[in-house]
Amino acid sequence: MRPLIYIMTPVLILTILLASRFVTWDAIKGENPQAQEYVQKGTLLLRTWKIPQAIVAFTQAVEIEPRYAEAYVKRGLAYHRAGNYKTAIADYTRTLELKRYQADAYASRGDAYRALDDAQRAIADYTASLKKRWSPRVMRKRAQTYLEDGNAQNALADYDTVIKRQPSAVTYYSRGNTHFQLFTQGHKDRLKLALADMDRAIALEPRFARAYMSRGLIHEHARAYTSATADYTHALELLTETIQTWQGDPNALIQAHYWRALIYQKLGEVAKVEKEIHEANRRIFSFFVEKLQKM
């Protein structure tokens, strides 16, 4: 199961973090029982993607108990999932005013600012979150935001810190991609650094499909075409195995099909590219139909 976590990282992180990252301290503290029931109901609705109903439940909770921090922070998550980032920010801000869940509320508000392309506010909130509680995930997000804002050196500094404190395949992969981006901008010395980081990522997690894809691209730019083909082929095998053995939500495989399409394009197999894109689009359509039916 561990290899699948790396292959399907974006989807799994979203699923895990959606509604369960906050300790239900308010329930322990002894909030109004009826308000607690609404929060429990809203949490279940959030986990099953019934976003409008979840928002209603959390709103009912705060109407009963206006200082119920857990209800605000989870309603913020629901608004975020609905794409209503400004309202999500308001709920995260209210959570911070109540001086609860501060590390998580800052990080989540940073996510919302990042979704609004407000890099400076996102970075400020990620920084505030890290001061409350250090987290490799939040520091990687800050690094990604620095990179999106054109500050590659700060991004690399954050990745360096994470690697020193808690090295992981994902962080080496992310730093390697940063070096590769700098290479494409004319810093030719960065290609070897990118390759070294991808090698480390794969050494730590030999079934990290995305790392093989990125390393294949690096080999391609280094004109090591045989190595590039070998990496693309191995990534394809890993993704194919994942698709064939996956027992979770079928819609979670959408990204895997797009990745396979990219690899087939690199290998020059046009018909298979079209087939993978068609399958990914079919799953996206089914995903939205399913979510609309739950509203």
User: Model confidence over 127-170: pLDDT tens digits?
Assistant: 999 999 999 999 999 999 999 999 999 999 999 999 999 999 99
Q: Which two tokens stand for residue 283?
A: 């799953």
Higher pLDDT, 25 or 188: 188
Q: At what angle are helices 152-165 and 169-184 packed, to 10 degrees?
A: 160
User: Model confidence over 220-242: pLDDT tens digits?
Assistant: 999 999 999 999 999 999 999 98
Residue 6 lies in a domain: no
Question: Looking up tokens 């800050």, which residue turns up?
Answer: 142
C-alpha to C-alpha distance for 135 and 161, rounded to whole angstroms = 11
Instruction: State mean pLDDT over 269-284.
Output: 89
CB 65 within 8 A of CB 31: yes
Which ranges of the chain would DSSP assign to H, the alpha helix?
A: 2-7, 9-20, 25-29, 33-47, 51-64, 69-81, 85-97, 102-115, 119-132, 136-148, 152-165, 169-184, 190-204, 209-221, 225-245, 254-266, 270-294
* Predicted structure pTM score: 0.81
Residue 200 lies in a domain: yes
C-alpha to C-alpha distance for 119 and 274, rounded to whole angstroms = 35
Residue 267 lies in a domain: no
Q: What is the reported pLDDT for 295?
A: 56
Higher pLDDT, 122 or 255: 122
**Which residue, 70, 72, 61, 66, is CA-closest to 34?**
61
Residue 156 lies in a domain: yes
Whichever domain contains 82, its CATH number is 1.25.40.10
C-alpha to C-alpha distance for 169 and 143, rounded to whole angstroms = 16
Centroid of chain to Cα 281: 21
**Which residue, 130, 136, 152, 204, is CA-closest to 173?**
204
Question: Looking up tokens 């439940």, which residue turns up?
Answer: 57
Report the domain count for the chain: 1
User: Model confidence over 33-65: pLDDT tens digits?
Assistant: 899 999 999 999 999 888 999 999 999 999 999
Q: What is the reported pLDDT for 181?
A: 95
Residue 250 lies in a domain: no
Residue 283 lies in a domain: no
DSSP 63-130: HH-TT-HHHHHHHHHHHHHTT-HHHHHHHHHHHHHTT-SHHHHHHHHHHHHHHTT-HHHHHHHHHHHH
Residue 202 lies in a domain: yes
177: pLDDT strictly greater than 70: yes
Question: Looking up tokens 């070096």, which residue turns up?
Answer: 179
Domain that holds residue 156: 12-226
Q: What is the reported pLDDT for 290?
A: 67
Residue 263 lies in a domain: no
Q: What is the reported pLDDT for 30?
A: 57
